[in-house]
Structure 1
Amino acid sequence: MGTSRAGTPMWLLSIGHGTRHVLVVAGPHANEPVGGATVLRLADRLLADPRLTEDADVTWNLLLCLDPDGARRNEGWLAGPYTLGHYFRNFFRPGFLEQPEWLPDGAEAAALPETRALLRLQDELRPFLQCSLHGVDVGGGFVELTRELPGLDRRLAHTATRLGIPRELGAYDTLYWPALGPAVYRVPPPRRGDLAAAITEAAVESTWFHPYRHGTVTAIVEAPMWGVAAVQDGTPPADRDAALRSVSRTLRRDTELLDGVLARIRPQLYAAPDAARLLAPVDDYLLVRPGLADAWDPDAGAGSARPLPPLSSAHLAALRIAGRRLVLRTAGMLHQLLRSTGHDPAAALPDLDRLIDIWCADYHDVLGARWIAVARQAEYQTRVVLSAFELARRHARVTARSGEPDWGTASAVPMHGE
């Protein structure tokens, strides 16, 4: 269906011959490989059960990987061992402007060939359901929807309980978004914002919303790699402000430590192979960290940040995880860059190793992060996709053949409460 920036083929597997379409997108983020396992598992289910295809008059279109070039850069950790330290030392995720789901300048100005290929596919298929398969490195599972699917929260809870997957009841990604039920959130319409807001709040146009005009409901299905039980604690916190002060202070302190290391090594990093591409996400993280620390600090002043919504213990756990994630990703990519130069005149690698080990220990020993087997991650995501399909099919109002010129632009899923 297209080729990547490096010329890698982008493969689409279609199953069924129905007149209505479902689109499932795996690998939208380079460091989130679970979607690749999920689409293969999903394909087995579809081939074995005609109720999901012929009987439903549905064709399933499985995009095997949206960012194959980025995925290849994560091969250093994919074969294991599945430890936090190994993962972050070999982690890669491109800078925000090189992530193919985002449309910072709108669909017409989409620059990446992967993005353009996906947009063409969406406009050709006009699916009644699109599922974007994401992974959470540390935390819990949750779903983000562009349209409401009543009942999905209950199905999600059942699946998560059966498979031992924690549900993220206060996801950092959805901090300011309305909840449609436990661990199910409504993606707000795209709005214009600066780059920091785009990165931290998805305040930007995206391929999630591009097919909205066709009546598509998009479900972003997040599956955790390392689960943390605390993210499903919906009780009120004992001392909200104290917890927020701790999170914001920790983020500022860790940022200062990394800034000191980066100041010592940045000049030599430009000698690393493909340095610009690896430094772009580092600079993204540097951009957003001060604003997040201020936003989470109850003493920062009312005019310094957007007011925080009511917070549960789950929210506070998610913020703590998010702060650690930002510095660990930065440290991990700096570690890779420095290793690739072949020399370390500033003796920074031992410092980066020490920081990575300390921060990973906080995840593992204090927050209790535990690896979830890939088979369970993929099974969880598969079941959530099938639940979304059943609900979307039930509510869809099909007026014409999907993909044909006379396909209606009315909502395929009722917009409850709108």
Structure 2
Amino acid sequence: MAAQLARYGDVREVGTSRLGEPITMVSVGNGPRNALVFAGPHPNEPIGFLTVPRLAEVVRDNDFGYTWHLIGCVDPDGARLNESWYAGPLDRERYLRGFYRPPAHEQVEWTFPDGLPETRALSSVIDEIRPDLLCSLHNAELGGVFYYLSEDRPGLADTLANLPTGIPLHTGEAELPGTRRIRPGVFLFPSLEAVNTAMPGMSSVHYASRYGTFSLVIEVPMWSDERSTDTSGCGEQRADVLARVARMIEDIERMPDLPIAEFVVQDSPFLRAYADLRPGAARFASALRAHRPQGEATVAERFGHQETAHMLRLRACTTALRILDGELGVGNHRAAVRSARKAYAELFESWMAEEGSVAQPIQPDLLVNAQLGAILSAAKS
């Protein structure tokens, strides 16, 4: 990535990962305002890796009054654990079987200001350039495109909601607790107090706010389903949907125990992620139960919440499978390991059969263009 970005401007190392990988940033343009754009804050969300070089090419020719500071990947260690599925084809099961997402306390996006070496690298850049604009590039798994803004800018919200992305606009609720919808598909980023009911720490958006930074978080889906845009009533009350979804998420707490005492490897990124799954699921389910919205849910709202729960269960299950396959791969064929592998394989197949989705993969070019259009819209606002 660094070599690819070097053709557009000056590249410098701004930090290193926990495993010693360099984290590099390229600066392009010479406008009086500063913009910071970074990709890969969650390593299972790689679309930003493609967007950053495209953005560098665009702003090299027109900086829109900014000096652009671009980080192509802020979690290279996590990215390496996902790279088996990056090249495609973008199949849901293939993605899940190669999936890795760090535990919440090891996520760059949620451990500001100094929780991790990667987070410290990013926070030091924010302290140095005090960005006028910050863009964090994310992608969801299934649904429609949506955006979080750090402040209510109705003009920009209108622009984002009407961007001709070729991707359905998410019309349900946001995934983070404490959000407020500005327009369909555009939400106000929640306060630190609200988000800490489900997440452990401070985000880049909260941290940068000390400098008066305007932040945009862009979420584009890798798969699309027409139900994510259906605003008709579903016949079920919003509060009942959330209660049912909370019960689905609590299935994670009831998963079989891993026979960790029988393992050869006693610590790994996957084991740490697994250890966080049950308390994380409990926090999220509790936050959903505490939220008591009124009225009938739309099809899109019900679908979005159900997909979130479905995704979290499958992520938990496949994390356990990667742990167990690793043990078998190093020759640990103890009965407890084989038995757990069988139980989790059956659970994974059972939950996959519940998917009921007609999701279609979205072309990466459309996803990149959607992120690019949103960034430039924010820069012009």
Q: What is the TM-score when the length of structure 2 is the normalising length?
A: 0.86
CA distance in 1, matches of 2:42, 2:175: 14
CA distance in 2, matches of 1:296, 1:214: 32
Task: After TM superposition, give the deviation of residue 359 of structure 1 in Å.
Answer: 2.9
CA distance in 2, matches of 1:313, 1:328: 22
Q: 1:98 to 1:292 in 2, by over 3 A?
A: closer
Q: 1:249 to 1:123 in 2, by over 3 A?
A: closer
What residue identity is the alignment partner of 1:210? Y
Larger CA deviation: 165-174 vs 210-219: 165-174
Alignment correspondent of 1:39: 52
CA distance in 1, matches of 2:325, 2:45: 23
Q: How does 1:5-404 map to 2 (within 5 A)?
A: 5-47=18-60, 49-50=61-62, 53=63, 56-103=64-111, 107=113, 110-159=114-163, 162-191=164-193, 197-199=197-199, 204-240=201-237, 243-244=241-242, 246-253=244-251, 255-256=253-254, 259-260=255-256, 262-263=257-258, 265-268=259-262, 270-272=263-265, 274-275=267-268, 277-290=269-282, 292-293=284-285, 305-308=290-293, 310=295, 311-342=297-328, 343-344=332-333, 345=335, 346-363=338-355, 366-391=356-381
What are the superposed Cα offsets for residues 337-381 of structure 1, whole Å, 9 maximum, x if unpaired?
Answer: 111112453333344334333433443xx2322211212111111
Task: After TM superposition, give the deviation of residue 250 of structure 1 in Å.
Answer: 3.9
Task: After TM superposition, give the deviation of residue 80 of structure 1 in Å.
Answer: 2.6
CA distance in 2, matches of 1:82, 1:327: 20
What is the SS of the residue equivalent to 2:191?
A: coil
CA distance in 2, matches of 1:101, 1:281: 15
**Structure having greater relative contact order (Cα 8 Å, sep ≥ 6):** 1
What residue identity is the alignment partner of 2:93? G
CA distance in 2, matches of 1:327, 1:176: 23
Task: After TM superposition, give the deviation of residue 279 of structure 1 in Å.
Answer: 2.1
Please, which runs of 5 or more residues in structure 2 have no aligned partner?
Answer: 1-13
Task: After TM superposition, give the deviation of residue 218 of structure 1 in Å.
Answer: 0.7
Percent identity over the alignment? Answer: 32
Please, which runs of 5 or more residues in structure 1 have no aligned partner?
Answer: 298-304, 392-418
Q: 1:192 to 1:375 in 2, by over 3 A?
A: closer
Q: 1:283 to 1:273 in 2, by over 3 A?
A: closer
CA contact (8 A) 2:172 2:304 kept: yes
Q: What is the TM-score when the length of structure 1 is the normalising length?
A: 0.79
Q: 1:252 to 1:147 in 2, by over 3 A?
A: closer
Alignment correspondent of 2:6: none
Task: After TM superposition, give the deviation of residue 248 of structure 1 in Å.
Answer: 4.2
What are the superposed Cα offsets for residues 164-200 of structure 1, whole Å, 9 maximum, x if unpaired?
Answer: 3122222442353111111111113212886xx242x
CA RMSD of aligned residues (A): 2.4
CA distance in 2, matches of 1:245, 1:188: 21
Aligned length: 360
What is the SS of the residue equivalent to 2:235?
A: coil
CA contact (8 A) 2:252 2:316 kept: no
Q: 1:370 to 1:4 in 2, by over 3 A?
A: same
CA contact (8 A) 2:216 2:378 kept: yes
CA distance in 1, matches of 2:252, 2:207: 37
CA distance in 2, matches of 1:183, 1:65: 26
CA contact (8 A) 1:142 1:221 kept: yes
CA distance in 2, matches of 1:171, 1:192: 15
Structure with higher strand content: 2
What is the SS of the residue equivalent to 1:76?
A: coil
